[in-house]
A and B are shown apart, each in its own frame.
Chain A
Amino acid sequence: MTEVTPSLGSRKTGIRPARLQRNRLADLAIHPLTLRLATALILFSAWEYAGRLPVSPAFPGFVETMIAFADMAKDGSLLSALLITLQPLVAGLAISAVVGIGLGVAMGISRFTEWLIAPPFIVMQAAPMAALIPLLVFAYGIGLASKILTVCIMAMPVIVLNSYLAIRQTPASLIEMGRSFLGSRAQIILKIMLPSASPVIFAGLRLGAAAGFIGAILAELLITPTGIGDLITYNQSIAEYPKMYAAIFSVIALSVLFIEGLGKIEAAIFRREGRKA
Chain B
Amino acid sequence: MVNDRVLLQMSNISKMFPGVKALSNVDFDLRAGEIHALMGENGAGKSTLIKVITGVDKPELGEITLEGNIIHPASPRDAQKLGISTVFQEVNLCPNLSVAENISIGHETIRYGFINSSDAKAKAKQLLKQLDVDIDVTRTLADYSVSIQQMVAIARALNIDKTKVLILDEPTSSLDAYEVRKLFDVMLKLKKNGIGIIFITHFIDQVYEVADRITVLRQGKLIGTYETNTLPRLKLVYSMIGKELENLDSLSKMKGELTKRTEVEPFMQVKALGSKGSIQPFDLEINKGEVLGFGGLLGSGRSEAAHLIFGVDIPDSGTLTVNKKEYRHLSPLKSILNGIGLCPEDRKTEGIISDLTVRENIVIALQVGQGWFQYIPMKKQYEIADKFIQSLNINTPSPDQLIKNLSGGNQQKVILARWLATHVKFLILDEPTRGIDIGTKAEIQKMVISLAEEGKAIVFISSELDEVVRCSNRMMIMRDHQKVAELEGDKVNLEEVMQIIAGRSELEKA
Q: Do A and B interact with each other, yes or no?
A: no
